[in-house]
Amino acid sequence: MSDLHDITLVLNGERHAVRVEARRTLADVIREDCGLTGTHLGCEHGVCGACTVLMDGQPVRACLVFGVQARGRAIRTVEGLAEGGRLSPLQQAFIDEHALQCGYCTPGFLMLCTAILEADPEIGDQALVDALSSNICRCTGYANIVKAVRAAAAAMRAGTAAAEMA
């Protein structure tokens, strides 16, 4: 049997009309049906956070949402972070602070950290560590990810100040 559904997603501002099986997770819809392979799959049962994307601005595990549940929703993935070929402050900070090694978990961390900074750019140390515990990274030991989030917040503040002065 197959239980097929026609759905439309808005992925990084672009509409995608796809026909998917009900059991297809949002992560698989994004990767297999929409062709955006930046979202990675690790554990596929909600533990590792590699597949984190933003749905209507909120971080979610894309392996724990069925594609049919995301009908009409606005989804942001790692492909949507850079603007006009310019990396987001967070992406740049991940490079500058060596917040990745193998890079497999990085798209998930970038989306998680984007949500954290959008909710509270001044987030406290304990709250930041607690929020970062959502995702697993086996390379960095997390310290450089914390540094990158702080560096990105500083860069965003500087950017805002510069824009206000201009």
Helix ranges (H only) for the chain are: 26-28, 89-96, 106-119, 125-132, 143-165
- How many residues lie near other proteins (CB under 8 A)? 34
- Residue 90 tokens read as 């967070």
Q: Which is nearer to other proteins, 2 or 85 (CB)?
A: 2
Q: What is the DSSP string of 121-158?
A: TT--HHHHHHHHTTS--SSS-SHHHHHHHHHHHHHHHH
In whole angstroms, how close is the CB of 146 to other proteins at the nearest point? 14
**32 touching other proteins, by CB under 8 A:** no
Neighbour-count burial of 85, counting CB atoms closer than 10 A to its CB (0-12 exposed, 13-18 middle, 19+ buried): exposed
Binding to other proteins by CB under 8 A, coded x per residue (else -) over 2-21, reads xx-x---------------x
Question: What is the Rg, in whole angstroms, of the alpha carbon atoms belonging to the chain?
Answer: 16
In whole angstroms, how close is the CB of 59 to other proteins at the nearest point? 4
Residues 70-109 contacting other proteins, CB under 8 A: none
Q: Which residues of this chain interact with other proteins, rule CB under 8 A?
A: 1-3, 5, 21-25, 28, 44-47, 49, 52, 58-61, 63-66, 68-69, 112, 115-116, 130-131, 133-135
